[in-house]
Amino acid sequence: MKDESQVKITLPDGSERFYPKGVTALEIALSISEGLARNVIAAKVNNEVWDPTRQITEDSLVKLLTWNDEDGKATFWHSSAHLLAEALEALYPGIKFGTGPSIEKGFYYDVDLGGQTISQEDFPKIEAKMLELARQKNEYIRKPISKAEAIDYFTKKGDEYKLELIDGLEDGSITLYEQGGFTDLCRGPHIPNTGFIKAAKLTNIAGAYWRNKQENKMLTRIYGITFPKQKELEEYVTLMEEAKKRDHRRLGKELELFAFSEKVGQGLPLWLPKGAMLRERLQAFLSKAQARAGYTPVVTPNIGSKELYVTSGHWEKYGKDSFQPIKTPNPGEEYLLKPMNCPHHCEIYKTSPRSYKDLPLRFSEFGTVYRYEQSGELHGLTRVRGFTQDDAHIFCRPDQVKEEFIRVIDLVLYVFKSLGFEDYSAQVSLRDPNDKVKYIGKDEDWEKAENAIVEAAAERGLKTVTELGEAAFYGPKLDFMVRDALGRKWQLGTIQVDYQMPKRFGLEYTGSDNQKHQPVMIHRAPFGSMERFIAILIENTAGQFPLWLSPDQIAILPISEKFADYAEDVFFQLQDHDIRGFVDHRDEKIGRKIRDAEVTKVPFMLIVGEKEAAEGKLSVRRKGEGDLGSMTIEEFAAFFKKEAAIA
Three-state DSSP state, 321: helix
What is the rounded distance in angstroms from the CA atom of residue 564 to the CA atom of residue 613? 10
The phi and psi torsions of 97 (rounded to 5 degrees) equal: -120, 135
| C-beta of residue 337 within 8 angstroms of C-beta of residue 306 | no
Please report, for residues 298, 304, 406, 514, 546, the alpha-carbon distance to residue 286 in angstroms, rounded to integers and kept in the order given: 15, 26, 17, 37, 15
User: Torsion over CA of 618, 619, 622 and 626, rounded to 10 degrees?
Assistant: 170
Please report, for residues 255, 269, 333, 369, 390, the alpha-carbon distance to residue 382 in angstroms, rounded to integers and kept in the order given: 18, 11, 34, 14, 15
* Of the candidates 383, 364, 309, 350, the residue with the CA atom closest to the CA atom of residue 532: 383
Share of the chain residues as helix, strand and coil, in percent rounded to the nearest 5: 40, 30, 35
| C-beta of residue 222 within 8 angstroms of C-beta of residue 108 | yes
| C-beta of residue 174 within 8 angstroms of C-beta of residue 166 | yes
| CA–CA–CA angle 624, 625, 627 (5° rounding) | 130
What is the rounded distance in angstroms from the CA atom of residue 393 to the CA atom of residue 406? 14
342 annotated as ligand-binding: yes
Question: What are the residue numbers of the active site?
Answer: 342, 371, 389, 391, 393, 477, 523
424-430 and 464-468 beta bridge pairing:
parallel
Q: Please state, as a whole number, how many other Cβ atoms lie within 10 Å of the Cβ of residue 21.
A: 13
Q: Please state, as a whole number, how many other Cβ atoms lie within 10 Å of the Cβ of residue 263.
A: 4
| Three-class DSSP labels, 125-172 | HHHHHHHHHHCCCCECEEEECCHHHHHHHHHHHCCHHHHHHHHCCCCC
The phi and psi torsions of 116 (rounded to 5 degrees) equal: -80, 165
Cβ-in-10-Å burial (0-12, 13-18, 19+) of 52 comes to: buried
| C-beta of residue 415 within 8 angstroms of C-beta of residue 422 | no
What is the rounded distance in angstroms from the CA atom of residue 612 to the CA atom of residue 591? 17
| Three-class DSSP labels, 382-415 | CECCEEEEEEEEEEECHHHHHHHHHHHHHHHHHH
314 annotated as ligand-binding: no
The phi and psi torsions of 277 (rounded to 5 degrees) equal: -65, -40
Name residue 532's amino acid. Answer: R
What is the rounded distance in angstroms from the CA atom of residue 150 to the CA atom of residue 141? 16
| C-beta of residue 537 within 8 angstroms of C-beta of residue 635 | no
523 annotated as ligand-binding: yes
DSSP string over 466-502:
EEET-SBTTB-EEEEEEE-TTS-EEEEEEEEEESHHH
Known binding-site positions for Zn(2+) = 342, 393, 523
Known binding-site positions = 342, 393, 523
